[in-house]
Amino acid sequence: MSRTLWTGDDGVLRTIDQTALPFERRELALRTVDDCDRAIREMQVRGAPLIGAVGAYGLALALRVDASDGALRRAAERLAAARPTAVNLRWALDRVRERVAAAEPGLRAALAWDEAGRICDEDVACNASIGEQGARLLRALAEQRSVLAGVAGADALALNLLTHCNAGRIATVDHGTALAPIYLLHAEGVPVHVWVDETRPRNQGAALTAWELAERGVPHTVIADNAGGLLMMQGRVDAVIVGCDRVAANGDVANKVGTYLKALAAHDNGVPFYVACPVSTIDPATPDGASIPIEERSAREVTHVAGALDDGSRANLRVVPEGSAVANPAFDVTPARLVTALITERGICEASSAGLRAVLAAGSQ
Ligand code: MRU
């Protein structure tokens, strides 16, 4: 299966317009920094790692027009502001800036384009490794549950995992983070079934996670966001596995709003709660969850639901009375104490300052 972000000899960046999914697989050409900025802000591309990769290419496209120090700084600041919670965007922009900083202006755009390509290649490798690391954990759970032995019972024929939002292939350059181990187990023939939270207000679960699981033939069931607690109480969830937009230095994690409630329910019911992310999502400069900026998005995402009518035409339907006040925080923070473990490309670690320090140090050896 191909990558979600690709370039050609024409110097144009191409991706899938995620606002058209699951109804249409529409390609999007990004030719300028404006195109990249718009695609990130309007969530045509989304998911922490993919946002970072598009931001990096956006900076390269800006440098094609003006490669001065001032233009580099302005473009980086503008792109970084497009989605404030996911730290991968700032991380990728910083990487490109560092790569080009000492170069003369005439060489900068090409260097930045090359660095963006490296970020993409590394993302693919990271996520493949997250898949391996997470699959080890999930295989062990499957063995405990005797899923592999095929013990009889209501949900006993599959390992039941619950995920929130979309941390799959299309949130990254390839493989995904939270979904990467699931794809591996499925490919190995381990029976897996995924409970997919719809993920209001933008429905990334219902629209995107369900779409990509279906594309791979992974059994799944879409549920309303509020159903997960009951399913956990009924013993129908073996583990929760989600992606992440930023891990603070103390192990608190920010992810799509609603994640925290799933973590609380998992904790109350003794269900393991795993967070899968590349090391680039760890932000040692942010001390704790309270310091993570939470993106506040448009009220329209709450007042209206986007979908397709029975005749296939697209529609935005109002579901909130005119005049009601609306708030739309797009992310929430799950305290470290509710996270069973982080799954990174460098291994499994505790969500704690010591655990994070160890995993960060593992890369510098
Ligand atoms: O607002 P979104 O759709 O960009 O939010 C995405 C998430 O919260 C993902 O779980 C996170 O970015 C990890 S993606 C591998």
- pLDDT, tens digit, for every residue of 266-290? 999 999 999 999 999 999 999 999 9
The ligand 1 atom nearest the CA atom of 51: 4
**Between 255 and 363, where is the model more confident?**
255
CB of 50 closer than 6 A to ligand 1?
A: no
Spatial contact of 16 and 174, defined as CB atoms under 8 Å apart = no
CB of 259 closer than 6 A to ligand 1?
A: no
Residue 62 CA, ligand 1 centroid: distance in Å: 25
Cβ neighbour number for residue 323 with a 10 Å cutoff: 5
Using one digit for the tens of pLDDT, what is the confidence trace for 60-102? 999 999 999 999 999 999 999 999 999 999 999 999 999 999 9
Strand 341-344 relative to strand 331-334, pairing = unpaired
Residue range 106-128: average pLDDT? 98
Residues 6+ away with beta carbon under 8 Å from 171: 46, 47, 48, 49, 50, 177, 208, 243
Residue range 114-122: average pLDDT? 98
Weakest mean pLDDT among 64-68, 149-153, 338-342: 149-153
Spatial contact of 296 and 328, defined as CB atoms under 8 Å apart = yes
Q: What is the pLDDT of residue 363?
A: 78
Using one digit for the tens of pLDDT, what is the confidence trace for 244-263? 999 999 999 999 999 999 99
The ligand 1 atom nearest the CA atom of 168: 15
CB of 201 closer than 6 A to ligand 1?
A: no
Residue range 323-331: average pLDDT? 98
Spatial contact of 213 and 204, defined as CB atoms under 8 Å apart = no
Residue 19 scores a pLDDT above 50: yes
Would you name the residues annotated as active-site residues?
245
Q: What is the pLDDT of residue 154?
A: 44
CB of 192 closer than 6 A to ligand 1?
A: no
The ligand 1 atom nearest the CA atom of 46: 4
Q: What is the pLDDT of residue 2?
A: 86
